Every structure is written in structure tokens, then in C-alpha cells.
């Protein structure tokens, strides 16, 4: 059995509890209690979350865990000496230690992240960098694994972190099945950007949202803006005008952004040849994809792949 300790504190953001659902679903998927979860706090007893819900906890002390995770918050607070002492003891005794969201600040306060790579919620990245110059912060990442120390972006990124733990412990198929049961769109790779192309485009109307969803599902076969306009029953001129008004971009530029996101994800999740990535994401050939990568990232696909390999 794999013992997991989740450490909370008064005012903890309620989504800090979300990873526990991943471990619960993994137990159900394999039909036995592989993960044994304990919710902890410095004083034990009831802990109020950021939304007012109360959680029962056990006082942390000499318990030993395979995985210890620290909750996050919507503000940065000073860690208590007892908490920092428990962080350091856990780093020595646990197989892995994790700081999702602002939990990374707790690990950094304890000195656990010195000389390591880490990430946190993008909103707190500048503050983190100024407070902990000895940590190599990669703010535009979903999660980062540096040896036994795991950190992640904020909010729902803790689910991606927990799913990666399940994959490490029980295999890729179990992690995929858990993601499906939790109705997650897909399991995001750790090196993936914290920002979604669809979220960044932020279309307002159902029609433009549908057009983008259609484009994302048909990147390989989508060859023109006319196809996209036809899919939502507008003339190309009407569609282009409405699309630019809602997103601030031309349809062609938006489609390229979706292709770039899909291509980068393919490279992060597998070792597909560049030609295959270009074909599957609609770039048609590697030269066209190379030019798009240079415009967007400043480096060609091969260089980005090397960076992903180093991060892995």
C-alpha cells in the first residue's frame, strides 16, 4: 500500500483536495486500496478552507508516508516553523514530496527547492522568483518533476500532477482510465504550457466557439477558412469579420495557434518523427511547421524537442 499525506492549513484553497479524487479513482480502477490517504495539519482537527468548508485532519508528527503533498492558497502566507520542520523531515523520509500551486512556496521556504527546477501558479511567478533566486523557476509549465520533488501550476494542474503520479505508480493505461472517469479532456503533459490556446482566444458566441472546436478536431484535414465558415453556416466574409471581432485574430492565425499547440503536445507526449507531427497537425510538411515554430517560439521544432528531452 502506498501512503499519501496531504497537508492543509487554515484558508487552504479547496481545490487542494482535488488530487485525492485521482487517488480514489485509481483505487477503484485496480479494485484494491493501493493508495491510503491521510489529510494532515499542524494542529489536527477541523481546518477551514478558503470557501468555508471544513475538513477533518490528523496532526502531523512522526508518521511516515510514501508521498507527501502540501496544499496551496490564493495568497502567500508565512510558513510556521513546525510546518517547515515537517517539510524537511518528509523530504528525507518520503519517496516523493509535492507542492502543487503555492505549495511550491512552502517547499522553497524549507530549502527543498534550492538548486532544483520548479513551477507554480503563473500569478505568483514573479514573487516566487524574487523570493527564491536559488530555484530555477519555469513558470509556464503544468508540472515539473525534479528527482523526488514535484511541483505544479495552480488550480486544476494539481489533477495533472496526481495523474502523473498514478502513471508512475500504476502505469499509463490506469492513468488514462482515471482521466476518462473524471471526464478530463486529456491528460496534460508536464511540459505543456499553463495557457490554453482556446482560453486565450476566448470566443464569445456559441457559433465561433463551435468553429474553433471543429478546427481543433479537424486540424489534419482543415485546409481553408472557407471550410471553417461552412461548418458554422456562414459565408467566408461574414465568418472572418465575426471571428476577428470576437477573438482579435484572423481565422488563419488562430488555426495556426491551435496547430502549434497540438504539435507541441504531440512532441511532449511521444517520440513521433517531425514529419508525422507536421502531417497530423495539418502543417502539411516539416518546413511549414518549422517556420510557424520560429514565429511563435523563436526556435525550430528540433530545438524544442531537445528542450523537452532535457526537462524530462
Q: Are residues 238 and 166 in the same domain?
A: no
Q: Are residues 122 and 203 in the same domain?
A: no
- pLDDT the model gives residue 77: 84
Max mean pLDDT range (6-20, 139-153, 227-241): 6-20
Model confidence at 18, pLDDT cuts 50, 70, 90, reads: very high
- Which is nearest to 17 in space by CA: 83, 69, 88? 69
- pLDDT the model gives residue 296: 82
Report the percentage of the chain scoring pLDDT > 90.
53
Q: How far is CA 59 from CA 3, 20, 239, in A?
A: 16, 18, 59
Does the structure show a pLDDT above 90 at 17?
yes
Q: Which residue has the cell 528540433?
A: 302
- pLDDT the model gives residue 217: 85
- pLDDT the model gives residue 192: 47
Does the structure show a pLDDT above 90 at 154?
no
Answer with the residue of higher pLDDT: 1 or 198: 1
Does the structure show a pLDDT above 70 at 269?
no
- pLDDT the model gives residue 13: 92
- 131 found inside a domain: yes
Report the percentage of the chain scoring pLDDT > 70.
92
Round the average pLDDT of the chain to a whole number and report it. 88
User: Are the beta carbons of 125 and 136 closer than 8 angstroms?
Assistant: no
- 188 found inside a domain: no
Answer with the residue of higher pLDDT: 304 or 240: 240
Does the structure show a pLDDT above 50 at 135?
yes
Among candidate residues 181, 215, 241, the one where a domain is terminated: 181
Extract the C-alpha cell encoding 49: 478552507
Q: Are residues 37 and 112 in the same domain?
A: yes
Answer with the residue of higher pLDDT: 197 or 312: 197
Among candidate residues 181, 212, 245, the one where a domain is terminated: 181
For the stretch 95-118, pLDDT in tens is: 999 999 999 999 999 999 999 999
For the stretch 162-201, pLDDT in tens is: 999 999 999 989 998 999 899 885 555 444 444 456 556 7
Model confidence at 312, pLDDT cuts 50, 70, 90, reads: very low
- 159 found inside a domain: yes
Containing structural domain, residue 279: 197-311
d(CA 182, CA 28): 12
- Which is nearest to 286 in space by CA: 255, 309, 263? 263
Residue 188 phi, psi dihedral angles, 5° rounding:
-80, 135
- pLDDT the model gives residue 224: 84
Amino acid at each position: 500500500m502506498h501512503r499519501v499525506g496531504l497537508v492543509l492549513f487554515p484558508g487552504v484553497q479547496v481545490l487542494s483536495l482535488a488530487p485525492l479524487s485521482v487517488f480514489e479513482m485509481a483505487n477503484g480502477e485496480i479494485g484494491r486500496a493501493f493508495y491510503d490517504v491521510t489529510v494532515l495539519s499542524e494542529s489536527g482537527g477541523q481546518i477551514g478552507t478558503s470557501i468555508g468548508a471544513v475538513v477533518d485532519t490528523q496532526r502531523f508528527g512522526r508518521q511516515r508516508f510514501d508521498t507527501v503533498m502540501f496544499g496551496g492558497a490564493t495568497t502567500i502566507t508565512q510558513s510556521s516553523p513546525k510546518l517547515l520542520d515537517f517539510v524537511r523531515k518528509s523530504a528525507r523520509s518520503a519517496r516523493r514530496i509535492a507542492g502543487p500551486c503555492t505549495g511550491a512556496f512552502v517547499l522553497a521556504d524549507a530549502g527543498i527547492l534550492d538548486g532544483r527546477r520548479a513551477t507554480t501558479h503563473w500569478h505568483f511567478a514573479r514573487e516566487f522568483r524574487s523570493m527564491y533566486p536559488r530555484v530555477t523557476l519555469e513558470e509556464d509549465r503544468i508540472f515539473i518533476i525534479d528527482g523526488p520533488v514535484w511541483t505544479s501550476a495552480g488550480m486544476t494542474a494539481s489533477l495533472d500532477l496526481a495523474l502523473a503520479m498514478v502513471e508512475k505508480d500504476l502505469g499509463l493505461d490506469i492513468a488514462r482510465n482515471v482521466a476518462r472517469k473524471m471526464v478530463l479532456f486529456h491528460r496534460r503533459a508536464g511540459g505543456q504550457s499553463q495557457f490554453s490556446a482556446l482560453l486565450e482566444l476566448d470566443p464569445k458566441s456559441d457559433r465561433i466557439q463551435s468553429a474553433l472546436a471543429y478546427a481543433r478536431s479537424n486540424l489534419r484535414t482543415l485546409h481553408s477558412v472557407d471550410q471553417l465558415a461552412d461548418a458554422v453556416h456562414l459565408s467566408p466574409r461574414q465568418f472572418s469579420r465575426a471571428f476577428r471581432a470576437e477573438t482579435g485574430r484572423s481565422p488563419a492565425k488562430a488555426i495556426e495557434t491551435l496547430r502549434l499547440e497540438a504539435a507541441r503536445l504531440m512532441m511532449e507526449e511521444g517520440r513521433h518523427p517531425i514529419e508525422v507531427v507536421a502531417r497530423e497537425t495539418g502543417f502539411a510538411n516539416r518546413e511549414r511547421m518549422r517556420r510557424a515554430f520560429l514565429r511563435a517560439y523563436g526556435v525550430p521544432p528540433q530545438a524544442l524537442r531537445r528542450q523537452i528531452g532535457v526537462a524530462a
